[in-house]
Amino acid sequence: MAQFKFEKTGRPYSPLWEPQDEALKARLSPESSPRLVGGTTFDPDAHPGALQIAALAKASLKSLEHARNLVTSWHRQGQSLAEIYLNGFAPAARLLGTQWSADQVDFVHITIAVSHLQALMHEFSASFLAEGAAEPNGLCVLVMTEPGAQHTLGSFMLSEFLRREGWCVTLATPADIEDFKQTFQADWFDAVMLSISTDRQLAAISAALPDLLSACANPNLHTYVGGAMANLTPDALTWPGTRLLTGDALSAVSIVTQDAAATIGPISA
């Protein structure tokens, strides 16, 4: 199992878009070279639009360097990294998923492209955390994918937003359901946030959760379920003792922080 614990120290610390015009589809296809200058500027007060999202998806398919150049240019134009992550990275990843579903891009290239986006979040991590500059709040959260998850972009992005708000984060990608159980019970957590991207492990997780929740070290543990499946099939994730999250990473952090404050009192961050 891949597991990472992040502790913050010190202050520095939409629907999917599908072009309808055939000429535009060809210009934005994975085989075409991304435009890294023309057509990628925007108002710093506005969200990235369809063309910018498509440009980022293309750049991530082409190379890490192309994606880095594009994101850096947006950041220099005044767009915060938080806005770029929420309104650029997340919809670009969804657009890549749509292209794969339509057999426009194969799984290997999609995996590489998403890994480029995640690598950029690693690179920009210090700058991203400095944008928030919250003090540690003394709370610990486990962010965990379903067993055997292949893509962890969403869970990593969530962990970054949590760290930015002062949470101590353990990020885990369990190899199997036994690994999932052991990680759930491995430490004291104020919250557990499960990121479910596929339906492959739903039955196993559903069967395991009641015992995990009843035996957890923290009797006041808050448990949340989010990820792609929370939006695709929310009824399949209505597990007792858990709260469904269908918004973006920023709204998820707001909810979990407010719930923690309601349980233990005001949180300084």
Q: What pLDDT was estimated at residue 267?
A: 61
What residues contact 147, with CB distance under 8 A and at least 6 apart? 174, 175, 176, 177, 179, 180, 201, 204
- Using N-to-C axis directions, what is the helix angle for 107-123 and 125-132, rounded to 10°? 50
Q: What pLDDT was estimated at residue 200?
A: 93
CA distance 246 to 243: 10
Inter-residue contact 146 to 204 (CB < 8 Å): no
Predicted confidence (pLDDT) per residue in 203-224, tens digit: 999 999 999 999 999 999 999 9
Residue type, 8: K
Q: What is the largest CA-CA distance in the chain?
A: 58
Inter-residue contact 90 to 154 (CB < 8 Å): yes
CA distance 202 to 200: 6
Inter-residue contact 157 to 195 (CB < 8 Å): no
- Write the DSSP string, 48-89: --HHHHHHHHHHHHH-HHHHHHHHHHHHHTT--HHHHIIIII
pTM: 0.80
CA distance 7 to 194: 19
Predicted confidence (pLDDT) per residue in 46-69, tens digit: 556 889 999 999 999 999 999 999
Enumerate residue ranges in the chain where pLDDT < 50: 7-45, 269
CA distance 113 to 139: 33
